[in-house]
Amino acid sequence: IPSLADCGLVVNTGSGGGSQHLYYKVSSELALQGKHDDYEGIDFKSSGFVVGIGSQHKSGGSYEIASGSIDDIADAPVELVELLKKKHKKRVLLNDQHIDVSGSEVVEMLSCIDPDLEYDVWVKLGMAIHETMNGEGFRIWDEWSAAGSKYDASEMESKWFSFGKSPSPVGLGTLLYYAELAGYSRPVSFDSSEPSITDKQDLNGLPCDISNIDLLRPPEFVGEIAGFINSQCRYPRENLAVGAALSAVG
């Protein structure tokens, strides 16, 4: 990106390796990724903190201004912002394969389904959206439900916050099932995030690949205990629930 050469504040980190920090302004409402596959070794920070000017690097050098000043920090180049914008997709497991699904794809599936369906199916679909969108997606579920004659705005939030606590959750597969019953055709554009066999990373010393195992959904009795503990919480506390369940069974 040529415009990066005009950065208003450049700081040498003092690492001895020539690394620098380039500073820009950006809206706090933008969701930007911190890494990019095309730029390995470069961090893009849009939240949190960085070490300030005048601080000591662990190598012994100091953080010093290479050019510009704090007053010269300008808005980030549009090209950079567009490069780092997060794809609004969630990674889910479908038929033993990880895929990335966007909110717009969930909306498209729901658009085929009549919201005036049986109550238990309506609840299942809410649970599926919650699971697929990692606890997000309330607005999607609410707006779709509002198109039905049975819509009750007063129950939506409480029902939504009750989701995500089952040891055997429903997910994208359930949503796809009811959408396809209603005439939805699955696109070929679902992004597969499953690496090829040659791209598989090492197993970090483990005897098998556990990438497809959901550690927050243990099977059998431990899962039942974890589900019960989580169901007693006002908000999901999945990690704590699993830890407590494991401790309980010894």
pLDDT digits (tens, 9 = 90+) for 142-184: 999 999 999 999 999 999 988 887 777 788 889 989 999 999 9
Phi, psi angle pair for 24, to nearest 5°: -140, 165
pLDDT for res 20: 93
195: left (phi over 0), alpha (psi -120 to 50) or beta: beta
CA–CA separation, 130 and 121 (whole Å)? 14
User: What's the token pair of residue 103?
Assistant: 């909110």
Residues with Cβ < 8 Å from 107, sequence gap 6 or more? 140, 144
pLDDT of residue 200: 43
C-alpha–C-alpha distance, residues 152 and 143, integer Å: 12
Report d(CA 228, CA 218) in Å as an integer: 13
Q: Who's near 154: CB < 8 A, 6+ residues apart?
A: none
Written as tens digits, the pLDDT of the chain (250 aa) is 888 889 999 999 988 888 999 999 988 767 677 888 788 888 888 877 788 898 888 888 899 999 999 999 999 998 898 888 766 556 666 766 666 677 888 899 999 999 999 999 999 999 999 988 877 789 899 999 999 999 999 999 999 988 887 777 788 889 989 999 999 987 655 554 444 433 444 555 655 555 556 677 777 788 778 877 877 777 667 788 888 888 888 7
* CB distance 110 to 179 below 8 Å: yes
**The pLDDT value given to residue 193:** 44
The pLDDT value given to residue 196:
40
Phi, psi of 249 (to 5 degrees): -90, -5
Q: Quote the distance between the C-alpha of residue 236 and its chain's center.
A: 16
Residue 128 CB contacts under 8 Å (≥ 6 apart), including other chains: 170, 171, 172, 173, 174, 175
Q: What is the DSSP letter of 77?
A: P
